[in-house]
Structure 1
Amino acid sequence: MNFIGYRSDALGAAVELVNEVSASRVEEPEVDEESPDRMRTVLVANGYLAGGAPASVEPALRAWARRLRTVFDVSDVEEAAVAVNALLADVRVEPHLSNHDGQGFHLHYSPPEADVVDRLRASTAFALAMLVSEYGIDRHGRCAAEGCMKVFADTSRNAARRYCSPACANRSAVAAHRARARAAGTRSR
């Protein structure tokens, strides 16, 4: 589902940025300065042209990811609106049509002179605003798997997603099955 009509997946980028920071917090408390630019990889994977990005976008995108997480951590729609409005207040939104790099005309939300970080900030904030305005908090949140710190945004038709990935869903299903089997074995003795 492309909420904003841009050639990138802003909602997917928001989720991946948050999950990259969540995963590194659990697996690697300190980000090695020698490590590859993982946040730039998220940009490229979600259709952002990162060619004009500064030497490292890591610090700015990690800080933005922590801000995006506030939308996923809420428990009601009022809190989600406050979190989204705080994001929107911190980005410069200046919609315009652009046809750069051989692409047809498409909508940009940040000013023409904005760098890739500012474009990503504006489009991810706007994508989360569209998600919350359309679906409240029913389509996004924290993974329901025990111990998982990642988030998800559900763009499926049935809106039944509760996990960040099939792996977490499968682990949870296996754990629930084993718990039921243990309980049934205890009752039959």
Structure 2
Amino acid sequence: MDFIGYKSDALGAAVALVNAVTAEPDGDADTPPEQSGRRLRDLLVEHRYLAARAPASAEPALRAWARRLRTVFDATASPDGAAPALDATAVAVNALLADVQIGPHLSDHDGQGWHFHYAPPEASLVERVRSTTAFAVAMLVSEYGVDRHGVCAAEGCRRVYADTSRNAARRYCSPACANRAAVAAHRARAKLKAGAGEP
């Protein structure tokens, strides 16, 4: 879904950045910096950002922004199983929006046709990523509340997801996690039945 009328997939990029940088407790600490930076640039290119020529110096700022984006997804996580709080999520989103440089305008760069930009024309790649992903997450929360994004429900998984489907049923970061959770639930039910002596 194109949330913000932008040429890039800003919501997908937000999720991908958060998962690439924060899903593992140590992140990619063992990855050489040049490889890590290239991986983040490739990830942005996948989401239609013009990032192939981004300098390696952008990598620390992109990693820091991914950690900031994670606060929105973590705000919806409810450790006690209660409904997630919209207020906490709104506070996290507003903190992101307060930190981005805004300069809305129409642009016709690189043969892409006229399209909307949130960041000023002179904005760096990092500033463009920050503004578009912040607005994409804000649009997701304002349109759908807190039921459409969060931390994967699979035990031990720290990846995040954003659900823009019609049925709004997503609770896992990927089909693999959903399948593992379904298999684990099935096995637990089977074990319970076997322990109770049911056929």
TM > 0.5: yes
Matched ranges for 1:109-148 at <5 A: 109-148=118-157
Contact 2:24 2:158 in 1 (8 A): no
The CA deviation string for residues 101-126 of structure 1, in whole angstroms up to 9 with x for no partner, is: 01110000000000111001000000
Which residue of 2 is the match for residue 57 of structure 1? 58
TM-score normalized by the length of structure 1 = 0.95
Specify every segment of 5 or more residues in structure 2 that has no aligned partner in the other structure, as ranges. 76-83
1 CA distance for matches of 2:11 and 2:177? 20
Q: Does 1:6 align with 2:6?
A: yes
Aligned length: 189
Match of 1:90 among 79, 84, 99: 99
Provide the identity percentage: 67
1 CA distance for matches of 2:159 and 2:184? 19
Q: How much does 1:54 deviate?
A: 1.6
Q: How much does 1:42 deviate?
A: 1.3
Contact 1:141 1:153 in 2 (8 A): yes
Q: How much does 1:34 deviate?
A: 4.8
Instruction: Say which is worse superposed, 90-99 or 20-29, in terms of deviation.
Output: 20-29
Contact 2:96 2:134 in 1 (8 A): yes
Instruction: Say which is worse superposed, 173-182 or 22-31, in terms of deviation.
Output: 22-31
TM-score normalized by the length of structure 2 = 0.90
Aligned-residue Cα RMSD (Å) equals 1.5
The CA deviation string for residues 90-149 of structure 1, in whole angstroms up to 9 with x for no partner, is: 001111000110111000000000011100100000001111111110110000000000
2 CA distance for matches of 1:31 and 1:59? 13
2 CA distance for matches of 1:67 and 1:5? 23
2 CA distance for matches of 1:56 and 1:34? 10
Q: Does 1:101 align with 2:110?
A: yes
Q: How much does 1:83 deviate?
A: 0.5
Contact 1:163 1:169 in 2 (8 A): yes
2 CA distance for matches of 1:23 and 1:69? 9
1 CA distance for matches of 2:52 and 2:176? 33
2 CA distance for matches of 1:143 and 1:65? 17
Specify every segment of 5 or more residues in structure 1 that has no aligned partner in the other structure, as ranges. none
Q: What amino acid maps onto 2:115 in structure 1?
A: H
Which residue of 1 is the match for residue 16 of structure 2? 16
1 CA distance for matches of 2:94 and 2:30? 30
Which residue of 2 is the match for residue 179 of structure 1? 188
The CA deviation string for residues 57-83 of structure 1, in whole angstroms up to 9 with x for no partner, is: 321111000000000011311011110
Which residue of 1 is the match for residue 45 of structure 2? 44
Please give the secondary structure, in 2, of the residue aligned with 1:35.
Answer: helix
Q: Which runs of 4+ in 1 moved over 2 A?
A: 22-36
Please give the secondary structure, in 2, of the residue aligned with 1:25.
Answer: coil
